[in-house]
Structure 1
């Protein structure tokens, strides 16, 4: 597996399909399918001003991706998606660790579903600390983390 910079235009519908599949798993875990990236269209995804990394296996298949926005003092992980068929292989961890390495001394923030125990466990094992909870959509709770 290779962690490399990607652009949505280059990987095409493979990225949107991966995103929808990954967020469908989260929707099942948190018992709420109102997660905005789950409903995102190709045009919506392209409109996001994000930097992307992909986890690509031999043959070019995209196994996971992470995207973030950044300023001079903060990196905001906007999304982390892993192919449901490739869970438990360290792909999410490798992607987040690469973002952490690229962030240098900058603060890193990320949010995930409050009831998404696998994601919360990943972030906490990587040293992220829960900051607060928020309800961006009535009844949809997230936890904000920072490192």
Structure 2
């Protein structure tokens, strides 16, 4: 797998990201029992207009297997981490997350949320050293889990260090 930046002004790239995102969020919707995930209703134009930074994981044959997108600020806020369902359970999500923590925003505070019932995502964030913060319900019928990593944590520190979720 090769990790590289994604350019959503490129039609083929944006289309692949949109397709993978809808497929991945469809799986998450089933896992958490909530089909109102905003990205599921996002058009290609909406996706392209987001103010996010993007990296993708590419197979040896050049196929986009997954992507990670984030917002810059005082803290990094991971907006989405999606893996094509055909690539599930092959370490793509871990690879993207570990790469971003070590190479893209090393040592910076990072936060992320996911559906609290999305066991694979919860396990992934905990495995790479995020600390679980409070759960919250942005809308009735949906419980989200929040996670954070304090500034200075290394990608594989096992969660040592304090949480920075505020």
TM range (shorter): over 0.9
Q: Which residue of 2 is the match for residue 119 of structure 1?
A: 121
Q: Which residue of 2 is the match for residue 91 of structure 1?
A: 92
CA distance in 1, matches of 2:23, 2:9: 19
Contact 2:116-2:144 at 8 Å conserved across structures: yes
Q: Which residue of 1 is the match for residue 136 of structure 2?
A: 134
Cα offset, 1:24, TM superposition: 0.4
* Contiguous gaps of at least 5 residues in structure 1: none
Higher helix share: 1
Counterpart check, 1:26 vs 2:28:
yes
Q: Which residue of 2 is the match for residue 5 of structure 1?
A: 5
CA distance in 2, matches of 1:99, 1:138: 32
Q: Superposition RMSD on alpha carbons, in Å?
A: 1.0
Structure 1's consecutive aligned runs of 4 or more residues displaced over 2 angstroms after TM superposition are: none
Q: Under a length normalisation based on structure 1, what TM-score does the superposition of the two structures give?
A: 0.95
Cα offset, 1:105, TM superposition: 2.1
Q: Which residue of 1 is the match for residue 105 of structure 2?
A: 103
Higher strand share: 1
Cα offset, 1:59, TM superposition: 3.1
Q: Under a length normalisation based on structure 2, what TM-score does the superposition of the two structures give?
A: 0.85
* Contiguous gaps of at least 5 residues in structure 2: 150-166
76-85 or 30-39, which moves further after superposition? 30-39
Q: Secondary structure at the match of 1:8?
A: coil
Q: Which residue of 1 is the match for residue 68 of structure 2?
A: 66
